[in-house]
Amino acid sequence: MLKRHARAACTALAAAGLLLAAAGGATAGPAPATAAPTAGTSAAATSAAATLRTAEAPSELLAALRRDLGLTPTQAKARLAHEAEAGATAARLRDRLGAAFAGAWVDGADAATLTVATTRAADAAAIRATGARAAVVTRTLADLDAAKAVLDRAADASTPVRYADPRTNRLVVEETRAGAAARLLAATGTDPALVTVVRTAEAPRPLYDLRGGDAYYMNGSGRCSVGFPVTKGTVNGFATAGHCGRAGTTTSGFNQVAQGSFQASVFPGNDMAWVATNAQWTATPYVKGSGGANVQVTGSVLQPVGASVCRSGSTTGWHCGTVQQHNTSVTYPEGTISGVTRTTVCAEPGDSGGSYISGSQAQGVTSGGSGNCSSGGTTFFQPLNPILSAYGLTLKTTGSGPGPGPGPGDPEPGGTWKAGTVYATGASVTHGGATYRCLQGHQAQTGWEPPVVPALWQRV
């Protein structure tokens, strides 16, 4: 569990995730940089993508990207801008390619190269027209995810991690003992040609122990970290990892002052929970960054594979890395967790529940992993949007008021779009007499109405 400063304890966090309960919360927040439009990308869309990051990259974020990714401030700013544009472009192409979509990723120290994969050769020209590279492959992302779901149902701790790798168009299964993956493939009837087996000595496990990244304590003993501050009606609280506590578990803050209690929790299956706090605690739109500085949270748009993410936790503080795979399944001793994101960010016990953030966009809460912040490791985060949606929570963001009442706010005039609603990719809404399709999953907020954010909504 993570520690944090008093007021920051309730702040919303954003970034990558480890199942690490023991210490800490985290702050993260990149600044939005502006990049020149890529060929085939409209200036409006590029500008809209840039607004999904903060106006200026905080110095502590730039310093962390230098330390963990070896980037100069100029390179870090360029990378953040490129990632914002790549996320918008990849989302539009995923919508256009439909069932043929086979994944997307960015490459290069500045993340300037976006590759989008498809199973239809005829799609290549349309992909290249956006400035992205095209990869024609044999299996769709949906095909790989379906095959992974079969493996998930039969996996145990000897094959702890499984994911679809868009770069190789294959599944990856990590095994802790020789032959474990082969036995899993045989038991499920999975074609070995579909799978790359990786031997690992890592054993992901929950490491039990509020601003995002601050520490909180459960029932006066174990410690975890605050993920992201949220509201539900007039109630303040925070999102965190489910393995940190069950419904009814009481919490105290980083300062050991009575704080609140878990309202709902899921673990295993997913790793999500939320804590409602008492009147002494107030949700803020910040994550605890390097040196304790506040990092702003402006939204919850999930970034693509290859994008940079930073994590805040009460044990190890602020660390950065990259997104490796989304929708990963990992089997801990307690059971299988599905739908988490795999990252190269390090973490240690007590960082559990803390924030993962990319730019200024909240990504998820630390679930679990392996390794440490001395030798490095692999970590996993539970994406934040499913937590917000499951429990009817509103992410605290900069510029947001006290928040709407329970659940989404009132319908906007002339349409079904509502501020406060969590929209998944592909969702359809109306606004101002027109129909729009959601390109990137996010929680809607005032100022991000469909007509003004083409990075998030496409008119149909």
Catalytic residues: 243, 271, 352
Look at the block and give the residue holding tokens 């002339």: 414
User: Of 296, 300, 298, 250, which Cα lies nearest the Cα of 276?
Assistant: 250
| Alpha-carbon Rg for the chain in angstroms | 20
> In a 3-state reduction of DSSP, which class is residue 70?
coil
Determine the 3-state secondary structure of 328 from DSSP: strand
Type of residue at 398:
T
Backbone phi, psi, residue 335, to 5° = 140, 180
ω into 268 cis (within 30 of 0)? yes
Backbone angles phi, psi at 442, to 5 degrees: -170, 165
Of 48, 104, 116, 106, which Cα lies nearest the Cα of 79?
106
Q: Do 325 and 296 meet the contact criterion of CB atoms below 8 Å apart?
A: no
Residues 6+ apart with CB under 8 A from 284: 7, 8, 10, 11, 12, 211, 229, 294, 396
Which whole-number Å values give the CA distances from 280 to 127, 187, 235, in the listed order?
A: 52, 54, 11
Q: Pairing mode, if any, of strands 286-288 and 272-277?
A: unpaired
Q: Rounded to whole angstroms, how far apart are CA atoms 216 and 224?
A: 6
Which residues have C-beta within 8 Å of that of residue 233, sequence separation ≥ 6? 403, 404, 405, 406
Cβ(454)–Cβ(89) under 8 Å? Answer: no
Q: For the beta carbon of residue 131, count every other beta carbon within 10 angstroms.
A: 17
Q: Which residues contact 143 (CB under 8 A, 6 or more apart)?
A: none
- Determine contact, residues 26/354, Cβ cutoff 8 Å: yes
- The residues with which 27 forms a beta bridge, in sequence order, are none
